[in-house]
Amino acid sequence: MLATGVTAIVLGQRRSPPIIPIYMLCLLLSVAGCANAGAYLIADNPAPSMMTLPIGLPWIGAHFALDGLAAFFLIVVNLGGAAASLFALGYGRHESDPQRVLPFFPLFLAGMNLVCVAADAFSFLLAWEFMSLTSWALVMVHHRDAANRKAGYVYIVMASFGTLALLLAFGFMAGPDGAYAFSAMRAHAHSPAITALVLVLALIGAGSKAGLVPLHVWLPLAHPAAPSHVSALMSGVMTKVAIYGFVRMTFDLLGTPPWWAGLVVLGLGGITAVLGVLHALMEHDLKRLLAYHTVENIGIIFIGIGLAMAFQANAMKAAAALALTAALFHVFNHSLFKSLLFFGSGAVHAATGERDMGQLGGLGRVMPLTSFVFLVGCVAISALPPLNGFVSEWLTFQAILLSPDLTQFALTVLVPAVGALLALSAALAAACFVKAYGVTFLGRPRSDAAANAHETDRFSLAAMFVLAALCLFAGILPGFVIDALSPATIELLGARMPIQEHVPWLSIVPIAESRSSYNGLLVFLFVTASALLAAWLIHRFASKELRRAPAWDCGFPDPSPATQYTSESFAQPIRHVFGGIAFGAREAVDMPSPGDLRPARLTVTLHDHAWEWIYNPLAHLVYAIADRLNYLQFLTIRRYLSLVFGVLVLLLAILASWPI
């Protein structure tokens, strides 16, 4: 079995200090993993391969299985891993203390691989929590910064909270006699009550890892805190492993989910998508912005999953297959472009030492290649054709359009609303990345660091270009990806989308030609062709001379770059529109009286409802109880004795009144 191989070798290798060999090794192993899983998916009628090791929980052993779903997620994991390793070959040199990164990076990869192949509750949870632990260690790499320590703390607590939720869920599915093997759980039929509980717990567990609102609070803290290649892994890959856990539990282990589960997941997904992107719009820290975007994309994926659940509950297999394919496709896409974008931010960070967009700007001229691939990533994540982000959202829309056939009224009311939310989040994402790219790479540099930046190293560029190429490929030839996803959907739903590879012109047809179809390749060709045509015509028959001149700017050329729009000012109109609802945003203008020379100030306060309504109260509660109980630490011996005495008398009284 591959992943165990990864673990073994990784464990063997981990202690050696030098950077190159470790990342090389990770790269090779990840590529091998990709190849293996890919081979499994390509193979016609693949048979799931099982394996049991005599480790882990005694009298059960550790089961591992490789099936379609696992194989697909293995590809996602190892693709991300390979890219991250490649990137780290260059980026790792900038690391201040690599010996805090090197041991855990391979272990982190191994943990994620293990989660995907684990086939019994114990090894699943072990790998899951191991993944959390190693990633926590990676978050704590730059531990001298108090903010990072807080991030690590919030992260590890949320992670173990999620793990405990999953643990309870598995405990339910395994039953009192402890049938922890997935095969046993599948065979076991679960009562509705148990199914409901398990679903809720699984949603909490996986959601807290994936960053589902309101369990997302750790994510924008922890992801930026880690080194960029790790952030890419956490954001692009680890959240996907969480998705894997959810899909595995709901579709595979529980069997057909009830329709209301689809309702819940849909609603949460929609809210998550919009809130995530709104938060991202308000951010001015590049990596935090990307992290919040992960929240948004998780929402989109959960919308797809929710649709699939709803369809499955109504026995609309084809539709369910479409929805699930859309979700998984988006998983794939997001792992690609989110890694790409985090790499980009890492490159920027390495070149300028800045993450605050307020200090950046104009990098497009000093780092042309980076800015180009970053642009590709932005277009992809903004769901614009002809790149891959659009395809998965398009598929999701197609799935939504099938949902009027759902029988439950609640669903038929909710689904269009979710569709609106999805569209809204897509549009906002575009706005957000106009902001991110425009403020960071365009305009004039806002600091010397930005002005004197320089292009990053070859490895980093290579990693980013590979990912960009993959984004383009998945965007213009989505048919192949969809076909590669079919084994998973067949296993989980017993249905698949129509085979795409025979469709003429390589276009994709979700249900029927007459209904809807999309051909990324042609659109791409048309756009490039007509753009080139226009350029050629104009340069051929009309002028092509060009003159550089100072910016006109309506005749008010401003010397200082500070007059450019910053990320805050860019987001201001959108904050006006949504801020009131989403953040309870308040603006306070402090305008000096005439003749007063002090500058006017505009202060904006945003609130994160999740923190203010859930987490801070909880923390306060815990501390309050802790304070109350703490008195017990400083009692006199007599009082302690009276405690003992009280318990004794209480027990005796109970005994005296015990019915025989």
With respect to other proteins, which residue has the nearer C-beta, 105 or 130?
130
Q: Which of 203, 200, 197, 153 is nearest to 175 (CA)?
A: 197
Do 432 and 339 meet the contact criterion of CB atoms below 8 Å apart?
no
Rounded CA-CA distance 156/137 in Å is 9
- Work out how close the CB of 435 gets to other proteins at its nearest, in angstroms, rounded to a whole number: 7
DSSP 123-182: HHHHHHHHHHHHHHHHHGGGTTSHHHHHHHHHHHHHHHHHHHHHHHHHHHHHTTTT--BH
- Work out how close the CB of 43 gets to other proteins at its nearest, in angstroms, rounded to a whole number: 31
With respect to other proteins, which residue has the nearer C-beta, 298 or 571?
571
Tokens of 146: 């108090």
With respect to other proteins, which residue has the nearer C-beta, 20 or 635?
635
Beta partners for residue 588, in sequence order: 603
Tokens of 216: 């997302």
Under 8 Å CB-to-CB from 361, ≥6 apart: which residues?
439, 440, 441, 442, 443, 444, 445, 446, 447, 450, 561, 564
- Work out how close the CB of 234 gets to other proteins at its nearest, in angstroms, rounded to a whole number: 18
With respect to other proteins, which residue has the nearer C-beta, 596 or 627?
627
With respect to other proteins, which residue has the nearer C-beta, 11 or 39?
11
With respect to other proteins, which residue has the nearer C-beta, 551 or 589?
551
Rounded CA-CA distance 333/659 in Å is 66
- Work out how close the CB of 295 gets to other proteins at its nearest, in angstroms, rounded to a whole number: 17
- Work out how close the CB of 180 gets to other proteins at its nearest, in angstroms, rounded to a whole number: 8
Cis ω before 659 (30° cut-off from 0): no
With respect to other proteins, which residue has the nearer C-beta, 43 or 530?
530
With respect to other proteins, which residue has the nearer C-beta, 224 or 364?
364
Rounded CA-CA distance 162/209 in Å is 7
Rounded CA-CA distance 377/85 in Å is 19
- Work out how close the CB of 431 gets to other proteins at its nearest, in angstroms, rounded to a whole number: 4
- Work out how close the CB of 134 gets to other proteins at its nearest, in angstroms, rounded to a whole number: 10
With respect to other proteins, which residue has the nearer C-beta, 35 or 649?
649
Do 259 and 133 meet the contact criterion of CB atoms below 8 Å apart?
no
- Work out how close the CB of 653 gets to other proteins at its nearest, in angstroms, rounded to a whole number: 6
Angle between helices 567-574 and 409-441 (to 10 degrees): 150
* Residue 604 phi, psi (nearest 5): -115, 130
- Work out how close the CB of 402 gets to other proteins at its nearest, in angstroms, rounded to a whole number: 10
Q: Where are the alpha helices (DSSP H) in 234-357?
A: 239-247, 259-282, 286-313, 317-352
- Work out how close the CB of 315 gets to other proteins at its nearest, in angstroms, rounded to a whole number: 19
Do 2 and 73 meet the contact criterion of CB atoms below 8 Å apart?
no
With respect to other proteins, which residue has the nearer C-beta, 69 or 281?
281
Do 488 and 478 meet the contact criterion of CB atoms below 8 Å apart?
no
